[in-house]
Amino acid sequence: MAAKTEMPYIHRDISWLSFNYRVLQEAKDPSVPLLERLKFLAIYSNNLDEFFRVRVANHRNLLRVGRKTRQQFEYEPKTILKQILKIVNAQQEEFSEIFEKQIVPELNRNNIYLKRRLQLNKVQRTFVENYFRENMLPFVQPVLLVKHKIRPFLNNAALYMVVYLEDKEDASRHYAIVKIPSDHLPRFVILPSASAKRHELIMLDDIVRHNLSQMFPGYHILDAYSIKLTRDAELYIDDEYSGDLIQKIKNSLNKRQVGPPSRFVYDREMPKELLDFLVETFDLKKEDLLVEGRYHNNFDFFKFPDFGMQHLKLQPLPPLSYHELDDEQDFFQALREKDHLIYPPYHHYDPVVRMFAEAAKDPAVTHIKITQYRVARKSQIMNALMDAVKAGKQVFVFIEVKARFDEEANLRWGEKLEAAGVKVAYSLPGVKVHAKMALIRREDEDGPRLYGYFSTGNFHEETAKIYCDFGLFTSDHRLTAEAGRLFTFLETGIKPLQPFKHMMVGQFNLRSTLESLIDREIKNHKAGKPAGITLKLNSIQDKDIIAKLYQASREGVRIRMIVRGVCSLVPGKKGWSENIEAISIVDRYLEHARVFIFENDGQPKYYLASADWMTRNLSFRVETVFPVYDPDAQRMIHDIIEMQWNDNIKARILDEVQSNRYRRQDTEIAVQSQVETYFYLKRREEMMVRAREEAEEASDEAQLSAGSSKG
């Protein structure tokens, strides 16, 4: 009997590291403006920090529980951890190379000089010493380390300097630790310069280095090396199904900052005897260790001063007005007439904010319902909901408290909303509510009507400036009625009796409907009818859905995929996926929209979604996938997806070896899809304005003609 061939599959975390490398590619791309390259170094570092706090910490926990428990998993955590550390070590070396050999010299060519302490002139040394005494001294917390006796607690993600000392009296050698107070002060400090055209600055780390002798007056400073410890960010809620879930989350949040180590990073110049000392002192394990360069917490490059040098940044693309709503006096009348699709950040997010502001003050509005996953710290939308309660409306907000790293913010908003009189429901046990939708009930002249907003992204005014997401405004009863049933479930916990026919909803029909849609494309292709699938996702990892796509490919269905992050599916694999192509786009904006297009015998079905094709989304979350019925909105989705598919500047090819090769097509026309999308939507808005003006002129002429004929 022939052995069964294992399905091609890339582990999600190995694929994620490949995605993060695409971010690093932007940092080393000389065509990207210099200060934007620094920003991509920051994004890469921030991503990696979260990855270690969540994913790597999870593998280490699996490793700790022992062999019997691990047998249920389809991979060996130790093997994955080894692969992760090997990949990250190589990437960190490249990170240092990019920064030291490419970006620093380029900064210098633009008269920006990031100086180290030995490069300071006399005036700058005096400035640095005064800055240290006046601003830093209360925060540095110098402590001598004594093996088995003195072991200070290392705060999560805080920066420290380990100092090698020699006693001036007896020449004995010691180690000490000093905090770099980047949590209190700017990481980059601008230095006095002899020329207004010459911009000089120093990192807080090097100010600490320069002033070590002030902290240890009885010692010679022999050397100093930077370190950082990140801690496990999992909340570890024992049983979500019993007791007070919200209180359990609050209790777990208090423990997050003191969780077990997930990564200990250190300067690659650190001698082995010092590293061994630190491993013993802080009770670290070999798999906790990760070598980096001289500096850590490189996400602080987000705050690198720009010195007003706008030519070193991307040319801004000012958000466009969506005229069909912005120019409309009666917002809800516009929604009664047709559906409206916006695409922030290319479009302003203003229509979303306006919808809630209008609903809050409109006397005909009786109810507002909304899901909250992540929300801005200062949210006009949340403020409008509280205003709506004051105006006598019934407002319901479902808050998902388990949105990682937003738990505290969501709890604070929940308390504030409840205090204002909003009815608030919190997380469901065992699942996350990841749907992004809102519903407004209004007493129109012809009776009560529901108005809905469905999105691929959160109700977050700040991330809407950098995340690409589709948002659909509609009064289509097919969608709003089903959204109403879903809100009833979230509010009461009672599952709807009627099935969802138009929407796909996680926990109800999401997985089964997706599989049926793929099966229909297979059937159509076999019958000689038009068939094909185009997918835009953040991530795809679920083995069952990947197997279904492989089946469709083997049957001859052409599948195109645009995947920003994790892609566990292997495109172009002989015998499995010859008919599947996949690309990934990393550019100025974060690609966050989920789009599913099924050819459907020449009558394509268009869906937008909150859900990726991860097991967590398909099986353990309440998600919404909503059809787009409006032909104009369908055309817009089609055009934007085609621009992305034809990108030959920022698209990388996804393949088995994860080479991240840039896709270069045989054409003289450069297509950078994010720039092309902006100008496509700009032309579209201009055409709509012209069409409206022409219609108004024609109406005026008709009225004049009618008036003159009567005369």
Tell me which of 408-417, 533-542, 557-566 is least confident.
Answer: 408-417
- Identical fold at 12-308 and 323-498? no
* DSSP codes of every residue in 530-548: ---EEEEES-B--HHHHHH
Going by pLDDT thresholds of 50, 70 and 90, the confidence category of residue 2 is very low
Per-residue pLDDT, 78: 86
| Over residues 600-613, mean pLDDT | 98
pLDDT at residue 436, rounded to an integer: 98
3-state SS, one letter per residue, for 551-614: HHHHCCCCEEEEECCCECCCCCCCCCCCCEEEEEECCCCEECCEEEEECCCCCCEEEEECCCEC
Residue pLDDT, tens place only, 620-657 = 999 999 999 999 999 999 999 999 999 999 999 999 99
CA–CA dist 80, 68 (Å, integer): 18
Please list, residue by residue across 133-163, b when 16 or more beta carbons sit within 10 angstroms of its beta carbon and e when fewer do: eebbeeebebeebeeeeeeeebebbbbbbbb
In this predicted model, what pLDDT tens digit does every residue of 355-379 receive, in sequence order?
999 999 999 999 999 999 999 999 9
pLDDT band at 3 (very low <50, low <70, confident <90, very high): very low
Query: Residue 709: is its pLDDT beyond 90?
Result: no
Residue-wise pLDDT tens digits, 208-243: 999 999 999 999 999 999 999 998 887 776 666 667
CATH class for the region spanning 12-308: alpha beta
Q: Which of 296, 348, 434, 460 is catalytic?
A: 434
* DSSP conformation letters of 356-418: HHHHHH-TTEEEEEEEESS--SS-HHHHHHHHHHHTT-EEEEEE-TTSTT-HHHHHHHHHHHH
285 touches 313 (CB < 8 A): no
Confidence check: pLDDT of 175 > 60? yes
Where does the pLDDT of residue 65 fall: very low under 50, low under 70, confident under 90, or very high at 90 and above? confident
* CATH architecture observed for domain 508-671: 2-Layer Sandwich (3.30)
Whole-angstrom distance, CA of residue 402 vs CA of residue 423: 19
Interstrand relation of 559-563 and 580-585 (parallel, antiparallel or unpaired): parallel
- Where are the chain's structural domains? 12-308, 323-498, 508-671
DSSP secondary-structure letter at 344?
Answer: T
Band of pLDDT at residue 575, cut at 50, 70 and 90: very high
pLDDT interval class at 711 (50, 70, 90): low
pLDDT band per the 50, 70, 90 thresholds, residue 70: very low
Residue 373 pLDDT: 95
Report the CATH number of the 323-498 domain. 3.30.870.10
The pTM of this model reads: 0.93
| Distance, CA of 331 to CA of 309 (rounded, Å) | 41
Q: What is the pLDDT of residue 615?
A: 96
Read off the amino acid at residue 28: K
Whether 543 and 7 have beta carbons less than 8 Å apart is answered as yes
**Res. 708: pLDDT tops 90:** no
- What mean pLDDT value characterizes the chain? 92
Quickly tell me which residue has 């979230």 as its tokens.
490
Q: What is the pLDDT of residues 48-60, one digit of tens each?
A: 999 999 999 888 8
Count each helix (H run) and each strand (E run) in the chain, helices first.
22, 28
Cβ(416)–Cβ(409) below 8 Å: no
Identify the pLDDT of residue 238: 64
What average pLDDT does this structure show over 583-594? 98
Max mean pLDDT range (3-7, 77-81, 152-156, 486-490): 486-490
Distance, in Å, from the CA atom of 547 to the CA atom of 545, rounded to the nearest integer, reads 5
Listed residue (532, 546, 547) closest to 613, CA to CA:
546
Told to judge if 434 belongs to the known catalytic residues of this protein, a careful annotator would answer yes
Angle between helices 510-526 and 543-554 (to 10 degrees): 10
* CA separation for the pair 397, 437 (Å, rounded): 11
pLDDT of res. 691: 85
The yes-or-no verdict on residue 254 having pLDDT over 90 is no
CB burial readout 369-379, b (16+ within 10 A) else e: bbbbbbbbeeb
The DSSP 8-state label assigned to residue 121 in this structure reads: -
pLDDT band for position 710 (cuts 50, 70, 90): low
Beta bridge partners of 447: 444
Order across the sheet with 651-653: list the strands. Answer: 504-505, 624-627, 605-609, 594-598, 533-537, 559-563, 580-585, 651-653
Q: Is the pLDDT of residue 69 over 70?
A: no
pLDDT at 73 over 70: no
Does position 659 have pLDDT exceeding 60, yes or no? Answer: yes
Judged by DSSP in three states, 269 sits in coil
* Cα 358 versus chain centre, distance: 30
pLDDT band at 68 (very low <50, low <70, confident <90, very high): very low
How far apart CA 52 and CA 387 sit, in angstroms, is 41
The secondary structure of 191-219 as a DSSP string is PP-SSTT-EEEEEHHHHHHHTHHHH-TTE
Ranked by mean pLDDT, which of 168-177, 213-222, 292-301, 391-400 comes out on top?
391-400
Q: What is the mean pLDDT of residues 10-21?
A: 97
Distance CA 280, CA 342 (A): 56
Question: Is 89's pLDDT higher than 60?
Answer: yes
Rounded mean pLDDT of 404-431? 93
Say what the pLDDT of residue 501 is: 97
pLDDT of 194: 87
pLDDT digits (tens, 9 = 90+) for 691-706: 888 877 787 777 777 7
Q: How far apart are CA 18 and CA 417, in angstroms?
A: 41
Tens digits of residue pLDDT in 345-355: 999 999 999 99
How far apart (Å, rounded) are the C-alpha atoms in residues 25 and 650? Answer: 10
Q: How buried is residue 394: exposed, middle or buried, by Cβ count under 10 Å (0-12/13-18/19+)?
A: middle
Give the list of residues 6+ apart from residue 694 with CB closer than 8 angstroms, or none: none
